């Protein structure tokens, strides 16, 4: 292979990795850590996306301050390496009518 062709291939590969790099990044997986490690990661980061097995993932937060102003928190349980149901923190979501104490509105 000529030197100029090699340089073009290397440059093309670099460009592809630059564009695709963020999508190729691996998320930490709760199934590869203990429950305590997963909970500690959420507590330290405040809010982050974790893999929960296979191709599934979600965003977990330490408390409501990591949600949008209109969102509420709901408890989040995930599979971990040492337990099938580990409380790691919360998920943020928009409230529905059933989330309010007063059903009369």
Q: For 43-77, write each residue's pLDDT tens digit.
A: 999 999 999 999 999 999 999 999 999 999 999 99
Which percentage of the chain shows pLDDT scores above 70? 70
The answer to whether 68 and 95 are in contact (CB under 8 A) is no
Quick check: pTM over 0.75? no
What is the chain's percent helix, strand, coil content, to nearest 5? 40, 30, 30
The answer to whether 89 and 43 are in contact (CB under 8 A) is yes
Helical spans, DSSP H, in the chain: 3-24, 35-45
- Among residues 92, 86, 85, the alpha carbon closest in space to that of 40 is found at 86
Give the confidence band of 25 by pLDDT, cuts at 50, 70, 90. Answer: low
pLDDT of 91 reads: 98
Give residue 33's Cα distance to chain centre. Answer: 14
């Amino acid at each position: 292979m000529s030197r100029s062709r090699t340089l073009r291939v290397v440059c093309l590969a670099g460009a592809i990795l630059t564009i695709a790099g963020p999508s190729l990044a691996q998320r930490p997986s709760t199934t590869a850590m203990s429950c305590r490690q997963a909970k500690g990661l959420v507590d330290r980061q405040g809010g982050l996306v974790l893999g929960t097995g296979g191709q599934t993932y979600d965003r977990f937060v330490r408390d409501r301050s990591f949600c949008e102003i209109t969102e509420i928190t709901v408890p989040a349980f995930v599979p971990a390496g040492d337990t099938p149901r580990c409380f790691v923190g919360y998920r943020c979501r928009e409230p529905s009518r059933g989330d309010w104490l007063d059903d009369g509105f």
